[in-house]
Chains A and B, each alone.
Chain A
Amino acid sequence: MRTLLNTLYVQTQKSYLHLDNDNVRVEVEGERRGMLPLHHLDGIVVFGNVLLSPFLIQKLGRAHKPVTWLTEWGQFTARSETPVSGNVLLRVAQHACTCDPARTLAVARYIAAGKLQNQKTTLLRSAREAAEEDAPALRQAARDINAQIAVLPLAETVDEVRGIEGTAARSYFEVFSLMLRVNRDFFWLGERTRRPARDPINAVLNYVYTLLAGECASACQTVGLDPQIGFLHALRPGRQSLALDLMEELRPVVADRAVVTLINRQQLTPRDFTLHEGRTVTLTEDGRRTIIKHFQERKAEEVHHPLTGRKTPLGLIPHVQARLLAQHLRGDRPHYPPYLHR
């Protein structure tokens, strides 16, 4: 059996990592926080102001364990290249997979299945908390999405998968505003509009999706995947197709859930929006701040990952999923397992 090695994430600002007897010794202001034998690690990811000793960087390089530097907020900045990195082979595998319609279809199908399943879970959870008159509509939408999941295995092309996903998305967004319990006259959702947003919910969704897409792109970079070469999303210059692919199954869980919670708790109110002429809506600066704060807190929440069986902070799920996808592309896993939220 192939064992999964672990990645060390260092988020504590002003940490100092150095090499001590084949261990990574983590110190914060001179105080020891951890001794981690190198043979347990397959890489180190550091956020923001974290210092690594030159000997540690060199030792990690020789042992083919890359270091990834992200900003304190998780944006990708740099990554060390080791003498023989899995990087190029992984990318070749990724390219080979996109050139193979059957494999592309399989990955796209699993991603879509994950997304639909998570949409269903989100709707059913809201239905339990919703008012009596709204619950049946939410349950019906969940059943409609369930029917689409059943159709997925029949899809013969990626286009058909996209079609099924679109049908499910329509059922989902039709009842989206029923998940809200307050300020219903203000928060309404006509249809999904991207640029510009035509209503407040679209404005919030677009913003949260942008935050999440950034997370997914840096997760791809960290693992060594090419963020622009996706499976479900069509390739287009400048589009982070793979990041968008990874994001699909997380949209309902991370982004949509956050929006519903913020509105229901009245942390996001009509005052946080600006209505412009020509029917466009944008968020105010205060509104954006509220969303970022909630998003950061949500990322720290621990969820149970059904495949690894571990408690994982929600913010690390994109990294876990990117790693699982990489394993599939390398041939270590028969298929890509999407993240299914409970």
Chain B
Amino acid sequence: MIDLLITYDVSTETPAGRKRLRRVAKVCVAYGQRVQGSVFEVSVSEVQLVALREKLLQEMDPTEDSVRIYRLRQPREKFVEAFGRDGYRDMSAPLIL
């Protein structure tokens, strides 16, 4: 699995832009966890990354918006420091609700 950080900046000045914002967010939610307003931590396989990138490119408008995908260095616990409210859940730990 590859750990990614995805951030986006979608122009919301027009109704079409707001629609794009919702759609971009939706793609990110489907693949990962929202850690901040427009910041997602995503853990995917190579194949899923290709699909995810494709979907993001489809939803965004390259002249108005910006989407950035960063690869996180592993292990995550060592290289990600989070402070304050943190709803992150390790998806490889036992999931018992």
Residues of A within 8 A of B26 (CB): 21
Partner of B45, one of A3, A8, A10, A26: A3
- What is the size category of the interface that chain A forms with chain B? 20 to 34
Find out whether the CB atom of B29 lies under 8 angstroms from the CB atom of A11. no
Q: Contacts A39-B44, A39-B48 hold; do A23 and B29 have CB atoms under 8 A apart?
A: yes
Residues of A within 8 A of B43 (CB): 40
Find out whether the CB atom of A8 lies under 8 angstroms from the CB atom of B95. yes
In this assembly, does A266 line the interface, its C-beta being within 8 Å of a C-beta of chain B?
no
Find out whether the CB atom of A313 lies under 8 angstroms from the CB atom of B96. yes
Residues of B within 8 A of A23 (CB): 29-30
Alpha-carbon gap, A5 to B5, bound state (A): 21
Find out whether the CB atom of A11 lies under 8 angstroms from the CB atom of B97. yes
Residues of A within 8 A of B29 (CB): 21-23, 35
Alpha-carbon gap, A67 to B91, bound state (A): 18
Alpha-carbon gap, A9 to B97, bound state (A): 6
- What is the size category of the interface that chain B forms with chain A? 10 to 19
Alpha-carbon gap, A4 to B93, bound state (A): 11
Find out whether the CB atom of A312 lies under 8 angstroms from the CB atom of B97. no
In this assembly, does A36 line the interface, its C-beta being within 8 Å of a C-beta of chain B?
yes
Q: Determine the main DSSP class of B at the interface with A.
A: mixed
In this assembly, does B33 line the interface, its C-beta being within 8 Å of a C-beta of chain A?
yes
Residues of B within 8 A of A39 (CB): 31, 44, 48
In this assembly, does B63 line the interface, its C-beta being within 8 Å of a C-beta of chain A?
no
Alpha-carbon gap, A155 to B47, bound state (A): 45
In this assembly, does A101 line the interface, its C-beta being within 8 Å of a C-beta of chain B?
no
Residues of B within 8 A of A15 (CB): 97
In this assembly, does B92 line the interface, its C-beta being within 8 Å of a C-beta of chain A?
yes
In this assembly, does B89 line the interface, its C-beta being within 8 Å of a C-beta of chain A?
yes
Partner of B97, one of A10, A310, A313: A10
In this assembly, does B15 line the interface, its C-beta being within 8 Å of a C-beta of chain A?
no
Alpha-carbon gap, A301 to B33, bound state (A): 28
Alpha-carbon gap, A209 to B48, bound state (A): 44
Find out whether the CB atom of A9 lies under 8 angstroms from the CB atom of B30. no
Alpha-carbon gap, A316 to B94, bound state (A): 9
In this assembly, does B32 line the interface, its C-beta being within 8 Å of a C-beta of chain A?
yes
Q: Contacts A3-B1, A39-B44, A39-B48 hold; do A310 and B94 have CB atoms under 8 A apart?
A: yes
Alpha-carbon gap, A236 to B1, bound state (A): 43
Alpha-carbon gap, A33 to B32, bound state (A): 16
Find out whether the CB atom of B94 lies under 8 angstroms from the CB atom of A33. no
Q: What 0/1 readout, one digit per residue, does chain B (39-61) give for beta carbons within 8 Å of chain A? A: 00001110010000000000000
Q: Which residues of B contact A (CB under 8 A)?
A: 1, 26, 29-33, 43-45, 48, 89, 91-97
Of all A-B residue pairs in the complex, the 8 with the closest CB atoms, nearest first, are A22-B30, A40-B91, A8-B95, A9-B96, A10-B97, A21-B29, A21-B30, A26-B97
18 further interface pairs, Cβ-Cβ under 8 Å (given A6-B94, A34-B89, A40-B91): A3-B1, A4-B92, A9-B96, A15-B97, A22-B29, A22-B31, A23-B30, A35-B29, A36-B89, A36-B91, A36-B95, A37-B91, A39-B31, A40-B92, A310-B94, A313-B94, A313-B96, A316-B94
